[in-house]
Structure formats: structure tokens, C-alpha cells
Structure 1
Amino acid sequence: MTQTIMIVEDEEKLASLLGDYLKQSGFETVWVANGTEVVPRVREKQPDLVLLDLMLPGRDGLEICKEIRTFSQLPIIMITARVEEIDRLLGLELGADDYICKPFSPREVVARVKTVLRRSVEHPSQSSGGLTLAPDRYSAQWQGRDLDLTVVEFKLLHFLFQNPGRIYSRTQLMDRIYPDQRIVSDRTIDSHIKKLRKKISAVAPDQELIHSIYGAGYKYEPPTQN
């Protein structure tokens, strides 16, 4: 089945160029130029991935991304013309799957699209005790209760979950969560871990799944059986 990419871009020439390259790679495309139309079109067309420009007429790309994440985990690649916006995007934890800065090569965009779609291919759910992770939906549940994690929080939990008992430094976790080597501080990982623990504690107060190892980093311990 042909996958559909929604191009959200108000520059018609750029949108057309991206569309041509994506079509040459076997994708179908949908173009949306106004920010107010994006969410309704996402609900209507149900694309496989959204290329979402940050600066749009009608509505800001940040707001659009946040709203999409309230009802869908479809892959989103944010596009910005300002490099300094990357830190802001990361800080807001919007749940975008990748970020591209203008100017860019259309071939690079196609490569990023393929990579993100490949990551989003359905994987079987994984369970340990009362914890169940569904990587295809970035969904984590404790005994049927949703942890409501951001994409970054899920990636952290999933990585640690796959390697129980092993200690990872902040640098190792940053390399895993941000493989494109974007610059983030140690505090970023600490902040994500703190929020992740809080969400786990809200539904499983008797479980401590993420452990801090002083001077070393963090590790995951499987849930205790009650």
C-alpha cells in the first residue's frame, strides 16, 4: 500500500519541490498551506507522516503538533528556518519524531521521511510484570492504565526496558534518544527521567522501575511481582 505524506508548507514552490521528490520515491502527497486546515485534514486523510513547517499562516506549527498528539501518534517531522528554534522545540517536548532546518536538500528530507517511517513500523507489544509497551504507538501502560508519555519519555523507558539492570550514563542515553547529535544538556535527560518517574508513580506508587546510580547514570529494574 502506498504511503501518504502530508506536506504542511505555505511556500508553494518548496511544497511542490518536496512533493515531486516524494512522488519519485513512491509516496503519495497531500499539500496543506494554512495552519488552520491541518488538524481537520489529518483527521480526514489520516496520512502516514506529516512534514510540518513551524511558521504558518493561520496557526503556529507548535500548536498544531501539540493538538495532533492529543489524538494520534502518527510520525511528525518539524521544519524550521531558524536553527535556534531547535532548543525551544526540544524543551517543549511536543512529541515530534524529527526536526529539519531550512535550507535543506529535498533528498535529505526524503531520506529522513523513510527513516522515521521505518522506525514507526509496527512492533509487537512487550510486557514485564504489569508494564506493557507498544513501540508502534509510543504507548506504555501499567496494568491497563495509560502512562501518557511523550515520545521522548517513551523512547527512554523503552531503551532502558530492553536492557534491564544495565547502567547507562546520561551521555549514552542522549546519544540513544537524539541520534542526530543535536546539542542537549545533561539536565535534559534528568528532566525527562524525573517526569517519567512521576508518571509511573501516579499509576504504580509501589514500583520503582527507574533507578538513579550516583555518579554513573540510570538503570531499569523489572516490576516486582505482587
Structure 2
Amino acid sequence: MKRILLIEDDPEIAHLLQLELGDAGFEVDWAPGGMSGLVRLREAPPDLVILDLGLPDLDGGEVARRIRVGAEVPIIVLTAADSVERKVTLLSGGADDYIVKPFHPAELLARIQVQLRHREGGEQVTIGELEVHLSKRQVFYEGQEVRLSPKEFELLSLLCTRPGKVFSRTEIEEHLWGRSLERDSNVVDVHVANLRSKLRESGAYGYLRTVRGVGYALRQRDKE
């Protein structure tokens, strides 16, 4: 049974989600505040975190950042904010997905299933000196680990399934979030830039290519 940590200060919402997710086969651990949520996370690491932004003791964005420092668990944020800027900030700060209040529990359940499905798999993909261990969710370049956020890893794992293929923005959005994002959203660009930066910091230059106006591809670095 997959465990979900629900960090939500509204007891009515928490109770509803515990019932809905429990009926769907999940074990739900509820924490009513940010600090108690961080404690629960350390005591019993979950498979996924559902995080409300409007917490009484600690801003939800800060909770997401603290979780991401020491854990790679997927984080779905519950937010009343619907601006593109706020969403980009959330995703850049450690969240893997968001859902805007009010929402239907069935939509949240679909988002949960997408995130958990992305964490499954068992192959290892090797492209040049770059190794992607899908089941362990680890990446190595020349034997040294490259630490990625969950979304960065999912982006890399998508690209490495077909090296050389140019994936469109829509294909990436559908794989990472299970839907197309707003037309003016630059969330994909943010994750691509972060992934490229981390690969470069590890010495893996030239693997992630941008095909202007088309999309992104992963290719073995040209030999010098």
C-alpha cells in the first residue's frame, strides 16, 4: 500500500481526502501544519506528499523547499493561486505538480497516479558516459552521481528512452504532468534549464540539445 503524507490545516478537507484516497487504496497520514508535516516526513517517509500552501505556522513553499533538501519524494501542492508566475515559482521551488482549489478529488487522484507511475520502472539507460538508473532514480556521469529533483529526473528519463528523438513541449507536458499546460507557461523551459545546468556542473556538456521551435532531445556528446 502506497503511503501519502497530507499536510493540510483544514480538518474538513483533510477528512474528505483521507476518505477518498483511502477508498482508492492509499494509506493517508495527516499533518495539520508545516512543522508537524516535516516531522512526520522524517519519522515515516511517504511515497508522495500533498501539501497545502496556506498553512498557519510555515509557508507551504518553504515546506516544499525543506522537503526537497533531503528527500526526492513527489510533492503535489494545493493552492488557491492561479497565476502563471506563482505556478512557476512552486515548480521551481521543489513541487512536482499543483492543483488549484476548489478541485474534485478524482482530479487529484489522477495527478497522484501520474506521479507514482513516473517512479516505476526497472531499466538502466546508458548514453556515452551518462547512466540513468530508472528504478533507483539515480543518474551518474563518469561514475559520479548527478543529483536531480524528481521532475528533472522524469524529464531526463523521458528523453533517454529514445536518444536523438526531439520531444515537443506538448509531449513533455503530457508525460510529466499528464496534461498540456497553459500556452504562456514556461514551466518546461525552467525544468530544462535546471537539468542542463546540473548536467553541465557534472561535466556532461552537450547531452541536452534544444531544437529551436521544435523541442528537446538527448544525444551523446560529440567526440572532440
Is the pair's TM-score, using the shorter chain for normalization, greater than 0.5?
yes
2:146 matches 1:147: yes
2:55 matches 1:56: yes
Q: What residue is the counterpart of 1:220 in the other structure?
A: 218
Task: Calculate the TM-score normalised by the size of structure 1.
Answer: 0.83
Q: What residue is the counterpart of 1:98 in the other structure?
A: 97
RMSD (Å) for aligned C-alpha atoms: 2.6
Which consecutive segments of 4 or more residues in structure 1 shift more than 6 A?
Answer: none
Q: Is residue 54–residue 79 contact of structure 1 (8 Å, CA) maintained in 2?
A: yes
Q: Report how many residues are paired.
A: 223
Of the structure 1 ranges 69-78 and 185-194, higher mean CA displacement relative to structure 2 is found in 185-194
Aligned amino acid, residue 54 of structure 1:
L
User: Hey, what's the Cα distance between the residues in 2 that align with 1:26 and 1:187?
Assistant: 34
CA-CA distance at 1:31 after TM superposition: 0.9
User: Hey, what's the Cα distance between the residues in 2 that align with 1:47 and 1:131?
Assistant: 29
CA-CA distance at 1:199 after TM superposition: 2.1
User: Hey, what's the Cα distance between the residues in 1 that align with 2:17 and 2:187?
Assistant: 33
2:104 matches 1:108: no
Runs of 5+ in structure 2 lacking a partner? none
User: Hey, what's the Cα distance between the residues in 2 that align with 1:22 and 1:215?
Assistant: 40
2:51 matches 1:43: no
CA-CA distance at 1:151 after TM superposition: 3.1
CA-CA distance at 1:220 after TM superposition: 2.0
Q: What residue is the counterpart of 1:82 in the other structure?
A: 81
Q: What is the aligned-residue identity percentage?
A: 33
Q: Is residue 129–residue 225 contact of structure 1 (8 Å, CA) maintained in 2?
A: no
Runs of 5+ in structure 1 lacking a partner? none
2:208 matches 1:210: yes
Structure 1 residues 127 and 101: CA distance shift in structure 2, 3 A:
same
User: Hey, what's the Cα distance between the residues in 1 that align with 2:29 and 2:214?
Assistant: 47
CA-CA distance at 1:22 after TM superposition: 1.6
Q: What residue is the counterpart of 1:126 in the other structure?
A: 125
Aligned amino acid, residue 104 of structure 1:
F
